[in-house]
Each structure stands twice: as C-alpha cells, then as structure tokens.
C-alpha cells in the first residue's frame, strides 16, 4: 500500500485483517512514526484496535508484491489543474520492484486518462483504477460496506482487481474500463457539489426576498419528485470541493454547470462573511461556532467555516472568537473560546458547523443574541 493517509491506512489495516501480508509504504517519516505509535486520526479507535491486533510492516519504499495499491494525494494546483506528481513518484518507486504480471491498483482520485498513463509508465504490469468513496468520520465502515467500481486498463486487470477487493470488502464490486471508472468517481462528487450549490443558490435568493430558505426548501420538498439539499456556509472537504475541477479540466465550454456550482460556492462563503462582518462593523463581538468542514469531524481541509472565520478575524481583529470542540488547538491567528464563554459573552453567534454540542444548545441559551445560522441547525429547536 503506497500512501498511508486517510484512504491508504484504513485500507491497509483491513487488508492485513483479512489475512494479506501488507507492507505499508509511507514517504513521510513523521507519519510513519505517528502510525507506529498509534497516533493518526482523532476519530479512529476502530482503526487503532485493528492495528494493535495485526500490526503493519511500515517502510519508506515499496518491495516486491503481487498487488501494489497507490493511495497518494492528487491535489489541485493553484491554476485548478490536477497535480499528479505524487502518482508519478509512486510509479517510479515501483519500477525497481515490479515483476511482470503484478497488479497495480490506483485508488487516488484522478482525471480521465491518468490510469492509462500510469499503465504506460509501468510496462508489464496489469493496471486498474479503484476509486474510493469513503466518508471522513466513518471510513472503516464505508471501506468495508460501500459498493465499489474497478476499472481495468484491460478486462483481465479489472477481473483481478475485483477478486482482490472481494477478498476484503463486503460491498458489491462492479467491473468496468479504467476511463469510465475515473469519470464515474468524478461525476459522483460533482453531482454532490452541483446539488449543494443549488441549495446554496436558493438560500442566496431567499435572502434577497427576506425569506427563510430552510422553510422555502421544506415547502418545495413536499413535491413528490423534489429533494433540494440543505444549504450551508459552503462546500468543503478533501473531495467535493476539488474533484469537480478534475472533471471540468480541459473541457472548455462543455463544462458549464460544474464551474457555475463552484462560483456559487464562492458567493455563498462571501455572503456569510459579509453578514458577519456587518455585525462586527456595528461593534458586536462575534463567536464563530465550528471550523471543520462538516459536523462532528476534526477535518479542516477546504473548510468554508475556517475560511469565513479566518477572513472575519483578519477584517476585525479582537472582535472574533472561534469555538471548535473537535480540535485541541486552533489554527494560528484565531482567538479561541469555549462554547460556554461564547454563549455567555458574545453579542452574535455564527453557527458555521452543526457539531453535536452546538446542536444541543437550547434556545434559551442563545436568547438575546444575534444568530446567523447558515445550516438552519437551530431553526427547529
């Protein structure tokens, strides 16, 4: 397993638990040390328990194996093009140990065509794309149970990939070609992004009419074939906010909705920033509740809450405090507060993330305060 991050480490643990001999290859020495000491993700007691029972062999370089799984990062560059250098580096490190007929599985999210390019760089290997669908916060269960698709550069690679995943996951495994698997993965996250973008656009439009977007959406959803998603302060996380650009990459005018959804996301973040900023400009102290990209996780990647809180702090230094019960320490530059102190002292509350402790705040505890609630988490209470 090349890359022991959010995806690779739990997958390696499940493989080892299923009886495979697994070498966990991690380029970052500090991450290897953390894994060896049982320190990785805040919320993964289940993973820790598996790794206590079946410890992983940790290494900096790959070794000989029948199956090589690549789960390295595929970030987005500043210019919104996919950065594939980690996949390329992983492929180069495999060249030294690869035997003819070895199966190479690319789990990293990639633009269409990248798996075929990987196969061209690894002569003699059978290559397939096996995209991940895990949800941060529930990764082990999702790895075990989610249906998955395996796209072979050749039909034989797809069949071997399927047999491999069926050896350790319970979900149904569907075979296809590599490019279809690549595109399907990108379509999944783009679908989520466009639909959340629609809900957020509805919220922006409702605000112009002075209406409660959550009420309007609740009414519209009484139609039997309508299911508008819940608005919020924007889309975050490692996948949904980035993968749409992989799909739109190089498509020119053929991709219209996808960039539009991304633009709605920027407008949504700006809307809530301006709303909170107006309160600060009126002299109020604002407490931002939550910095993570979604409820009940400690993950800050691409988080709209973190962006809004950071910009608000930069504009109004000293007037903004942040409460994030999922983190022991806040990112630099943000002023920390506890929930109790925010409820006692802040003039205004900006509920950016509906973490469980925030959902549990009773209406009387926030009485008399100005409340901004992009997700509508407090409107029913």
Query: By C-beta, is 2 or 128 nearer to ligand NAD?
Result: 2
Q: Which residue is nearest to ligand NAD (CB)?
A: 5
Sheet-wide strand order for 103-106: 67-70, 103-106, 126-129, 148-152, 173-177
Catalytic residue among 185, 280, 288, 294: 185
Query: By C-beta, is 1 or 377 nearer to ligand NAD?
Result: 1
Cβ 137 to ligand NAD shortest distance, Å: 9
252 Cβ contact partners less than 8 Å away, ≥ 6 residues apart: none
89 is an interface residue for ligand NAD by CB under 6 A: yes
5 is an interface residue for ligand NAD by CB under 6 A: yes
Query: By C-beta, is 189 or 287 nearer to ligand NAD?
Result: 189
Cβ 150 to ligand NAD shortest distance, Å: 14
Query: By C-beta, is 30 or 78 nearer to ligand NAD?
Result: 30
d(CA 150, CA 131): 7
Cβ 189 to ligand NAD shortest distance, Å: 8
Helix H or strand E segment including 272: helix 257-281
Cβ 188 to ligand NAD shortest distance, Å: 10
For Cα atoms 168, 301, 186, give the angle at the middle one, nearest 5 degrees: 55
For Cα atoms 181, 199, 73, give the angle at the middle one, nearest 5 degrees: 35
Catalytic residue among 239, 280, 288, 322: 239
Report residue 336 as tokens. 């920390």
Span 54-73, contacts to ligand NAD by CB under 6 A? 71-73
Span 29-58, contacts to ligand NAD by CB under 6 A? 31
The SS3 call for residue 240 is coil
Is the distance from CB of 302 to CB of 271 less than 8 angstroms?
Answer: no
What are the two backbone dihedrals, phi and then psi, of residue 320, each rounded to the nearest 5 degrees?
-120, 130
169 is an interface residue for ligand NAD by CB under 6 A: no
> Which one of 238, 262, 294, 375 is in contact with ligand NAD (CB under 6 A)?
238
Query: By C-beta, is 2 or 288 nearer to ligand NAD?
Result: 2
105 is an interface residue for ligand NAD by CB under 6 A: no
185 is catalytic: yes
Cβ 84 to ligand NAD shortest distance, Å: 10
The pairing of beta strand 370-372 with beta strand 320-323: unpaired
294 is catalytic: no
Which single residue is written with the structure tokens 């093009």? 81
Report residue 268 as tokens. 């949504």
86 is an interface residue for ligand NAD by CB under 6 A: yes
Segment lying near ligand NAD (by CB under 6 A), choices 20-28, 111-119, 169-177, 250-258: 20-28
The SS3 call for residue 246 is helix
Span 124-163, contacts to ligand NAD by CB under 6 A? 132, 134, 136
Cβ 58 to ligand NAD shortest distance, Å: 11
Which single residue is written with the structure tokens 């959804």? 261
Burial bucket for residue 233 (CB in 10 Å: 0-12, 13-18, 19+): buried
Q: Which of 213, 191, 200 is nearest to 265 (CA)?
A: 200
Contacting residues toward ligand NAD, per CB under 6 A = 2-8, 25-28, 31, 71-74, 86, 89-90, 93, 107-109, 132, 134, 136, 238-239
Question: Mind telling me the catalytic residues?
Answer: 185, 239
């Amino acid at each position: 397993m090349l890359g022991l991050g959010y995806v690779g480490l739990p997958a390696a643990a499940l493989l080892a638990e299923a009886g495979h001999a697994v070498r966990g290859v991690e380029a970052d020495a500090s991450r290897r040390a953390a894994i060896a000491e049982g320190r990785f993700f805040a919320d993964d007691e289940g993973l820790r328990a598996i790794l206590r029972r079946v410890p992983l062999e940790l290494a900096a370089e790959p070794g000989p194996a029948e199956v090589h799984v690549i789960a390295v990062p595929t970030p987005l560059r500043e210019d919104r093009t996919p950065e594939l250098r980690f996949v390329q580096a992983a492929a180069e490190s495999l060249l030294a140990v690869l035997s003819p007929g070895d199966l190479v599985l690319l789990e990293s999210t990639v633009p269409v065509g990248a798996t075929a390019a990987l196969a061209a760089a690894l002569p003699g290997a059978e290559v397939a794309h096996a995209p991940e669908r895990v949800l941060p916060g529930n990764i082990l269960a999702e790895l075990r149970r989610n249906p998955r698709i395996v796209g072979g550069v050749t039909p034989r690679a797809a069949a071997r990939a399927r047999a491999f995943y069926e050896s350790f996951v319970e979900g149904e495994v569907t075979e296809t070609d590599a490019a279809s698997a690549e595109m399907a993965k990108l379509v999944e996250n783009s679908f989520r992004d466009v639909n959340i973008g629609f809900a957020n656009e509805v919220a922006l439009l409702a605000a112009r009419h002075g209406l409660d977007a959550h009420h309007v959406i609740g009414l519209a959803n009484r139609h039997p074939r309508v299911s508008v998603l819940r608005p919020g302060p924007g889309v975050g996380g490692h996948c949904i906010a980035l993968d749409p650009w992989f799909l739109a990459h190089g498509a020119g005018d053929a991709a219209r909705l996808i960039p539009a959804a991304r633009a709605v996301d920027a407008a949504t973040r700006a809307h809530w920033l301006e709303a909170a900023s107006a309160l600060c400009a009126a002299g109020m102290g604002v407490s931002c509740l939550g910095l993570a990209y979604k409820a009940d996780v400690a993950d800050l990647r691409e988080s709209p809450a973190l962006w809004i809180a950071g910009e608000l702090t930069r504009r109004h230094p000293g007037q903004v405090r942040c409460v994030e019960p999922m983190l022991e320490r806040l990112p630099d530059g943000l002023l920390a507060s506890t929930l109790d102190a925010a409820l006692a002292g802040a003039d205004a509350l900006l509920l950016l993330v509906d973490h469980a402790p925030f959902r549990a705040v009773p209406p009387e505890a926030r009485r008399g305060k100005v409340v901004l609630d992009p997700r509508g988490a407090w409107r029913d209470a």
